[in-house]
Amino acid sequence: MSTRIKTPNLDDIWVKWKEKAARTDRKKMEKQFGTKGAVFSLDAISAAEYVKDTMKEAAIYFAVKKSLGPAPTGKEENLVTAPRVGREQYYSFKGAGKINKENWKGNEKVPHFESIQAVPCKNCKGKGYLEDKCKTCKGTGKIEEIFTVLVGEEQKKEKKPFSYPCGACYGTGNRTEPCKECGGHKNMYKYEILPVPFQSVVTGIPILHSSAQTRYEKEIGEDLHKIIEDVEGIKFSDFKELESKTEASLGYMNKNISKTIGAAKTDYRKHEKDKDAQITSQIYLFPMIQMMAITKRGTKFEIYSLGSGNKFMVYSNF
Ligand SMILES: [Zn+2]
Ligand SMILES: [Zn+2]
């Protein structure tokens, strides 16, 4: 069973608008609608005189709670040599509490200063150098030479070994080379690129789709969001039901309304899939009236109503 919702009467919308406009800025109303030499009266400002065009449209509203929260989880690690550690820009959040994402300038994941850790170099086992046999003495520690010595009266040539300590290894037979991996710094350094600890902020966001061709959809949505309980619409729990009952509920239909339902449905699905979002209301369908008006002074403006004849809101760019 579907309920037919009564569209507000045009004069009622007009009255609600002009009273609100006079409360907000009476001087402006006087300037735009007053007559020189006559006492200004709201009663004299009639819809019949100043409303040039009226369109029957529809709007679909639902509310979404979005948590602006921690950045994507997971960490990334970098392993670098000692001289390169300092090339990174580090951040520290120690004792800083949670960060307000709206104020944060920069990446959502950053290198954390406290995550820097020394990791003994695997290549040299943390020694900083590699030991190897001395190439000059082949590990013997000695340089061996053969002298040709002339022996005795006959000066007979005899080969005699002679050795002295190797100067390349100071006679140890071993040589050390700085480790190419760690550059002799013994350690490599590891740091983590972690999410900025954002605080979770949950905000309620109004989603409004209207078939009226208006620049004020966002503003109307925000106004509606604040007083949603005081504006009467028809609530649906899914789009299938809404689609099948829109025409019967409104008592009218047009191409733009069908398109709007399609767009709202797509948007709804998107929010359903978004893991940071939660749809917190039913889907509301509102009759929407769009009025094109002009003041006595010739200033064009628009008035919108959303809701039923019993409970509706007005929005205007006046
Ligand atoms: Zn040597
Ligand atoms: Zn090393």
pLDDT in tens, 40-73: 899 989 999 999 999 999 999 999 988 776 666 7
Residues 162 and 238 in one domain: no
User: Cβ(60)–Cβ(217) under 8 Å?
Assistant: no
Closest ligand to C-alpha of residue 172 is: 1
Burial class (CB in 10 A: 0-12, 13-18, 19+), 61: buried
Calculate how far, in angstroms, residue 121's C-alpha sits from the geometric centre of ligand 2.
5
Ligand nearest to the CA of 184: 2
CB atoms within 5 A of ion ligand 2 belong to 121, 123-124, 179, 181-182
Question: Which residues are close to ligand 1, an ion, with C-beta < 5 A?
Answer: 134, 136-137, 166, 168-169
Percent of all residues in the chain with a pLDDT value above 90, rounded to a whole number? 82
Are the C-beta atoms of 204 and 64 separated by less than 8 Å? Answer: yes
Model pLDDT, residue 274: 87
Q: Judge if 109 and 190 occupy the same domain.
A: yes
Per DSSP, the three-state class of 105 is coil
Q: What is the model's pTM?
A: 0.62
Average pLDDT of the residues in 96-121: 91
Q: What is the pLDDT of residue 71?
A: 61
Choice between 165 and 277, residue whose per-residue pLDDT is larger: 165
Q: What residue numbers bound the domain in which 162 lies? A: 129-178
Res. 76 pLDDT band, cuts 50 70 90 = very high
Terminal CA-CA length for the chain: 39
The ligand placed nearest to the CA atom of residue 180 is 2
Tell whether the model's pLDDT for residue 140 goes beyond 60.
yes
Q: Which two tokens stand for residue 125?
A: 């086992």
Question: Are the CB atoms for 74 and 194 separated by under 8 Å?
Answer: no
pLDDT value, residue 312: 97
**pLDDT band for position 1 (cuts 50, 70, 90):** very low
The domain total for the chain is 3
Are residue 168 and residue 85 in the same domain, yes or no?
A: no
The ligand with the least distance to the CA atom of 142 is: 1
How close is the Cα of 164 to the center of ligand 1, in Å?
Answer: 10
**Same domain, residue pair 59 and 206:** yes
Q: Is 106 in the same domain as 147?
A: no
d(CA 27, CA 24): 9
Rounded to 5°, the CA angle 180-183-184 comes to 110
